[in-house]
Amino acid sequence: MKQPSLLVPYAGPDASGDTFDVYMYLRPETNGVLTESVIMKTIVNDSRWKEAVKLVYLANYPGDFIQTRHLIEHHYRLKITFARYGGRVFTPDMRVEFERKFHQEFEEDKVMGAFDALVYTDLDEEALFSYRVHDDDMLVSLGQNIKRYGDIWIVNYDIPAILHRNTFKTDIAVMVFRVNLEWMEFNKLVDMMSRHMVEAGVLAPDTAPSRAFHHSKSPWEQLLDGIDYLWGVNVSDGGAEDDISFGAFMMSRGFSRNQLKDAIRRPLVVYEDDAGNKREGNIFELSSGMNYRDAEVAWKKVVSTLILPSD
């Protein structure tokens, strides 16, 4: 098995909470030197970003390394569960949200996981992924993507294509940026990267940047990204929490390694909102755009985790 090519060694965690780390990896279809160059040039050619966004890790991951360690399956574990079981594992709030969005009674057999939908629709993975619908026929609930197809709804339609595209022959580049900005400012940088990718011909004008690259959008998602994509970490033992900046921050505040492991393994939670009401949420989404201290507060509002029937 080939090992990753380490181009910029990891600088180590920053547990201060004064910065935040963003993990970014390229999709197989856009992975390459040109895309990496566009990303880096966007940062270093603009004074707004040059001093505030530092590359602290860069490695190229061979396809056989990714496949042998089951990184994709581990990373998308929750989404794969919903893609496999569809409406059968919808939580009570998801069912209510579905009925409110589509003005339709929720029926388990009409809300189909993507793998069953491949057989039902006779579409292949790419056709299912590319099938476009109006916003009225789309719903994102607890981080799961649902779209209408005729008289059925398909859950996490993108998962079969993601698994299909990542093979023993597809390499990906993984970068970690240490950011000393507000999240809103970093999002402006991501938008600028996307525009430059379009200009370079890497990305079609009408294509979402998420189809070219993934980036962490919250501290809790950073923890998941780091465990999967920071080379040297064995996902089977989950022993890298204190090597990842947010994990190191949380452990310095008294959180145990097992608490952090459980949080990213079961990110669907019941939490108490500011009005004292109990709601369902996804900790990756609930902490989106937060700094480390606010993400800690978000977790302290969690009352319980949601256990899916497949767990």
What is the pLDDT tens value at each position of the chain, 311 positions in all? 788 888 999 999 999 999 999 999 987 777 678 888 999 999 999 998 999 999 999 999 988 888 988 889 999 999 999 999 999 999 999 999 999 999 999 999 999 999 999 999 999 999 999 898 999 999 999 999 999 999 999 999 999 999 998 888 888 889 999 999 999 999 999 999 999 999 999 888 888 888 788 999 999 999 999 988 887 644 444 457 889 999 999 999 999 999 999 999 999 999 999 999 999 999 999 999 999 999 999 999 999 999 886 66
Could you tell me where the DSSP H helices lie in the chain?
33-44, 47-50, 63-68, 71-75, 77-85, 92-102, 114-121, 125-130, 159-165, 183-199, 219-229, 245-252, 257-265, 283-286, 292-300
**Domain parsing of the chain, residue ranges:** 5-67+166-236, 73-163
How far apart CA 245 and CA 222 sit, in angstroms, is 9
How far apart CA 55 and CA 259 sit, in angstroms, is 29
For the purposes of burial, counting CB atoms within 10 Å of the CB of 193, is it exposed (0-12), middle (13-18) or buried (19 or more)?
Answer: buried
What SS3 state is found at 304?
strand
Q: Per CATH, which fold does 5-67+166-236 belong to?
A: Alpha-Beta Plaits (3.30.70)
Q: What is the DSSP letter of 243?
A: G
**Other residues' Cβ atoms within 10 Å of the Cβ of residue 204:** 11
What's the confidence (pLDDT) of residue 311? 63
What's the confidence (pLDDT) of residue 239? 52
Dihedral sign of CA atoms 83, 88, 94, 96 in order: positive
- Please give the model's pTM, rounded to 2 decimal places: 0.91
Dihedral sign of CA atoms 34, 188, 298, 208 in order: negative
What's the confidence (pLDDT) of residue 232? 60
